[in-house]
Structure 1
């Protein structure tokens, strides 16, 4: 039986307050486990995740990110590097510079493996584009962990991620409840992120399916890189084409970019903003009443779990093959119950690329 995420909302909120207060006590953490793994439609069970206390030796782990251009990936960097320190392993972090840089991500990972990486954790630029590389690495008996974004290869060792389809659906369901069928139609522009990325395609499907049958009219879907400049241009272009919008909905970068644009045009009270994932900018926007909703996928926890999975595999210890934190939507109404340490890097954190 599939367990619906809404059942976990209260659990997750309570657990966040008690289990993420400090860097050393983020666990036990409420998660879901997919069984059979690697299929987001598989039945799920809930469990409390606990990492190993220490690794048996200082394994060398390579971590690859699409970029470090926004605070979302800064949170992932914080999670993997802090868990590497906690477990006592070494880590090299590389970032490709953007979602157009698939070939660079592949070459960076190849260089990492050639330099002696004993496990590889990948935040993928492309859902399908890394499959040959995964096969090559696995042929060398090196574990490969899929974190955050999603990779379609069946040869992966483990996944630490949530369903971005459900992230998109969570935001869509929130809006659909506000604007049910029969109420006044509202026009929405949707900015799912860079075309071709697995998380984006999943998020798009989840969001569009969730708003079907509601009073929401999707007037524009615009794909683009999750850099602030790229998203700002998409928002500007959309406002020119659709001056009667009710909502701008999309990536966290879209939401962050939209706030000052709407303010400069005097549209803050007319057009609302929602995101389908969580960053410090989204957190600030919620606190200031500039953003109406955003689901959290507990980014820092996903990153920590991926490192623990890698070490468990290297040491031949039991591990969960496909796991992700339970999702819930953060709104201004429940914001006081949300502990951001599960999702955001601390204030002042700068990227860490090497742990020894």
Structure 2
């Protein structure tokens, strides 16, 4: 019994290792990522994320906090309040620099706003990791991210198989216009649409809050009431399922990415499918990379979990720890410790 308890405790303390058992692509090679051991010092890492409105970032924050505990490092976690506040993220970066952060994980609002500042920190030997959203800077320590072009492409491929080549009309509600990951998603979307019988109907850009996405979704359905499918960011997709249900519409809804609420709607049959980029795993890998950099290890250029399409069938075998926090978790920001 004592041995069994020890094994359970060991699994709990090292759940990250289990989370990394999934295949990842490291500099173009499909491999299994092995996390590093505990940090040699209680380094202080600054984390910048766009917002706390989108529950996608709740999973990211939970993954970071779990990994920080395993590694023995301390975090400052800052959210800018939305993709329409790039100036706030710049000020938060400067705040972390002033507090003497040892390293940085950046989920950028704007791909280039921080590049000159990042170069200064890199030259001083402080690792800077591109976390999820995509930084356009030449000088970075490493990247933990999935190309959202692959997310959009996986979604279009799923629809193409589902529709068996028949002509369909698909609404598109991506999110904020200037976000790097949206530009990547649209690049992958249009490439995947080439040669298909899918007609795309653009619903417009907007911040990732429920109010704005509800406006755009209503406008799209009013202009195009007989869409076959809608692909949207998580907030737009979730609101679209409400409109479809209330109008008894035959339109099916897909999300561009998965969150815990999206997964619940898939289970209940209200939302058809969503690709996942395993955001919890990306967060943990990013922090692990920062610690490796502080240890003086050579880092790969980029690590990417494989994109998986989740629907009612594939969700049954998917490890939810790679995507979402446990029930009852609420995202909190925290100041970088002195």
TM-score (norm 1): 0.87
Matching residue of 2:228: 246
Shift of 1:235: 0.3
Matching residue of 1:212: 194
Kept in 1: contact 2:143–2:303 (CA 8 A): yes
Kept in 2: contact 1:172–1:208 (CA 8 A): no
- Partner SS, residue 174 of structure 2: strand
| The one of 279, 293, 303 aligned to 1:313 | 293
1:1-356 matches, cutoff 5 A: 22=15, 25-34=18-27, 44-181=28-165, 183=166, 185-267=167-249, 270-354=250-334
Q: Distance in 1 between matches of 2:45 and 2:201?
A: 45
Q: Distance in 1 between matches of 2:297 and 2:118?
A: 22
Q: Distance in 1 between matches of 2:155 and 2:22?
A: 23
Point out where structure 1 has 5 or more consecutive residues left out of the alignment.
1-17, 35-43
- Partner SS, residue 152 of structure 1: coil
The CA RMSD over aligned residues, in Å, is: 2.0
Kept in 2: contact 1:170–1:276 (CA 8 A): no
Kept in 2: contact 1:276–1:294 (CA 8 A): yes
Q: Distance in 2 between matches of 1:220 and 1:234?
A: 10
Deviates more, 1:210-219 or 1:229-238: 210-219
Q: CA deviation digits over 1:119-151, x for unaligned, max 9?
A: 010000012222222223323332111001001
Q: Which runs of 4+ in 1 moved over 3 A?
A: 18-25
Kept in 1: contact 2:13–2:70 (CA 8 A): no
Point out where structure 2 has 5 or more consecutive residues left out of the alignment.
1-10
Q: Distance in 2 between matches of 1:73 and 1:219?
A: 28
Q: Distance in 1 between matches of 2:15 and 2:98?
A: 36
Q: Distance in 1 between matches of 2:294 and 2:180?
A: 27
Q: What count of residue pairs does the alignment treat as equivalent?
A: 326
Q: Distance in 2 between matches of 1:255 and 1:221?
A: 12
